[in-house]
Structure 1
Amino acid sequence: MRVGAHVSIAGGIDNAVPRQVEVGGNCGQIFTTSPQVWAQPEIDEEEARRFREGTREKLDGPWVIHSSYLVNLCTPKDDLREKSVASMQAELDAATLLDIEFVNVHLGAHTGAGVEGGLENAAAALDALDVPEDVTVLIESDAGSGTKLGGEFEHLARVLEASEQDLDVCVDTAHVFAAGYDLSTPDGVRETIEEFDDVVGLEHLRCIHLNDSKHARGTNKDEHAHVGEGLIGIEGMETVINHPDLADVPLVLETPTEDGKSYEWNIDRVRELRE
């Protein structure tokens, strides 16, 4: 079972490896730089070497790089598109340096361009990237608030179809639930996975952000809860964790650190729920 958490790179990117081991993870996710500003990753070769070697020795993988929160692939604004493409290209180059397989990104918001225009913008922005052969861009599902796209499986499928890149998908359980798909019951989970397979294709599902939700289904509110303690609940999370079609998909937690419960608590909970 591949399960891990989004860990900090404070003090050097190679520190992510022992932090992942400390919380009991065997795969995981990082930011390469602050996700709140337009900053390029600054990784020296020695740090990268220690990261690569530590990963090979202590983890099963994969790692995922999560792109900056400022990236907006759907934007109709030329300057924001240019910054978004440059930021994504830097993440892809960092992934190659670190031997990381996936770079994860949200589609962003169309901000008035409309759904069709936003999805076309996203595909065009992705096509402007020079994606290394050993790296795959993952489009992440979204909670769908405002003009943000990616809340519907159809949005993901249309970008995969429209883009010339070989793209895959990361599904966030809290986002999917907030966007209106039912993950709170065994039947709901099965129906949601079947719909994803029909619309996108399970062959494109390469990572799951396994998070419970603090808000009800269909609210479009993105706030994560501890595994089994949110509105998805223990029954829904257990069904996701044990669904046979998801057995080999890496699970990455972005759960909160509060109420005395850490990443380690949540990873232990996931393993306890795995039958």
Structure 2
Amino acid sequence: MLRVGAHTSIAGGVHNAVDEQLEYDGNCGQIFSHSPQVWQDPDIDPDNAAQFRDNSADADVGPWVIHSSYLVNLCTPKDDLREKSIDSMQAELDAADRLGIEYVNVHLGAHTGAGVDQGLSNAASALDELDVPDGVTILIESDAGSGTKLGGQFDHLATVRERTEQEIEFCLDTAHAFAAGYDLSTPEGVDDTLAEFDDVVGLDDLACVHLNDSKHECGTNKDEHAHVGDGLIGEDGMDAFVNHEAIRDVPLVLETPTEDGRGFAWNVEKVKELRDGD
């Protein structure tokens, strides 16, 4: 069964995210537990949390993902930022536990001069500081790889998994992978990229896909999302990706823009049109 949905708001209470997802005709999704631009702990009302769990179960919407704050930097060599990042991640994990959410998604962050190897070790040791609740899994998201940001290369993801004691899994962002140099614009490119991911990381540990087209060329390291099929990955690439046997059972979460009179509902419908046999 195709699982596709969008990043949704928790305005007015986290339980409202389920109704919003259903408005998009989605059946899985992602939320921020608070504004991603500030250091802030989730403030989730217990009654709203119970309603979120019940509504998700009743409507068969899931899995859900919490996306961590944009300020989190697991790779940082700076002690104060490291501690804030660990504390923020712990709060997200605890919120996921209260909400019955399976995944907390995070970018590795930037090494800011410490070097790639040290940055990856910093991320692994930061993950080791976390107390991950039963039933919750940390997802490391692939990155576009600009500047000193890590996670743009698949071997970065594999290295962190090798160095951490946590049982982590992964989220592949199609726009990020494309920006990082993995060409998803053709069926052959999709085959090659997923084969490389399987060889380096392992498709068995791919728990989620952020399905986004790209406004910029492959390998530019520029992260700007486009409507599905309307960017430089294009319809041929997106068609090949959503129908690829390797990801047919992986939830697809949209982070596409709201512009040109189109939003998440349009993109969810587009994915369903592209998908064969669902």
- TM-score class, shorter-chain normalisation, is over 0.9
Cα distance in 2, alignment partners of residues 181 and 262 from structure 1: 26
1:85 counterpart = 2:70: no
Summarize deviations over 1:142-187 as a string: whole Å, max 9, x none: 0000000000000000001110000000000000000000100000
What letter matches 1:3 in structure 2?
Answer: V
Structure 2 counterpart of 1:61 = 62
What SS does the aligned partner of 1:80 have?
A: helix
RMSD of aligned C-alpha atoms? 0.4
**Displacement after TM superposition at 1:60 (Å):** 3.4
**Displacement after TM superposition at 1:75 (Å):** 0.1
Cα distance in 1, alignment partners of residues 60 and 226 from structure 2: 26
Whether contact under 8 Å (2:143, 2:151) holds in the other structure is yes
What SS does the aligned partner of 1:156 have?
A: helix
**Displacement after TM superposition at 1:133 (Å):** 1.5
What letter matches 1:241 in structure 2?
Answer: V
Whether contact under 8 Å (1:215, 1:221) holds in the other structure is yes
Structure 1 counterpart of 2:170 = 169
Q: Which runs of no fewer than 5 residues in structure 1 stay unpaired?
A: none
Structure 2 counterpart of 1:190 = 191
Cα distance in 2, alignment partners of residues 10 and 95 from structure 1: 17
Cα distance in 2, alignment partners of residues 51 and 132 from structure 1: 19
What SS does the aligned partner of 1:13 have?
A: coil
Structure 1 counterpart of 2:50 = 49
Cα distance in 2, alignment partners of residues 261 and 44 from structure 1: 32
Whether contact under 8 Å (2:52, 2:99) holds in the other structure is yes
What letter matches 1:116 in structure 2?
Answer: D
Whether contact under 8 Å (2:214, 2:224) holds in the other structure is yes
What letter matches 1:145 in structure 2?
Answer: S
Cα distance in 2, alignment partners of residues 30 and 43 from structure 1: 13
TM-score (norm 1): 1.00
What letter matches 1:24 in structure 2?
Answer: D
5 Å-filtered alignment, 1:126-137, equals 126-137=127-138
Q: Which runs of no fewer than 5 residues in structure 2 stay unpaired?
A: none
Whether contact under 8 Å (1:110, 1:118) holds in the other structure is yes
Cα distance in 1, alignment partners of residues 20 and 228 from structure 2: 20
Whether contact under 8 Å (1:210, 1:253) holds in the other structure is yes
Whether contact under 8 Å (2:124, 2:160) holds in the other structure is yes
What letter matches 1:122 in structure 2?
Answer: A
5 Å-filtered alignment, 1:86-105, equals 86-105=87-106
Structure 2 counterpart of 1:160 = 161
What letter matches 1:23 in structure 2?
Answer: Y
1:201 counterpart = 2:202: yes
Structure 2 counterpart of 1:15 = 16
What SS does the aligned partner of 1:104 have?
A: strand
What SS does the aligned partner of 2:15 have?
A: helix
What SS does the aligned partner of 1:159 have?
A: helix
Whether contact under 8 Å (2:26, 2:61) holds in the other structure is no
Summarize deviations over 1:62-83 as a string: whole Å, max 9, x none: 0000000000000000000000
Whether contact under 8 Å (1:21, 1:59) holds in the other structure is no
Cα distance in 2, alignment partners of residues 245 and 177 from structure 1: 18
Residue identity (%): 69
Summarize deviations over 1:180-216 as a string: whole Å, max 9, x none: 0010000000000000000000011000000000000
What SS does the aligned partner of 2:208 have?
A: strand
1:111 counterpart = 2:112: yes
Cα distance in 1, alignment partners of residues 216 and 183 from structure 2: 13
**Displacement after TM superposition at 1:59 (Å):** 2.8
Summarize deviations over 1:23-82 as a string: whole Å, max 9, x none: 110000000000000000001110101100000011331000000000000000000000
Cα distance in 2, alignment partners of residues 60 and 6 from structure 1: 13
Q: Aligned pair count?
A: 275
What SS does the aligned partner of 1:249 have?
A: coil
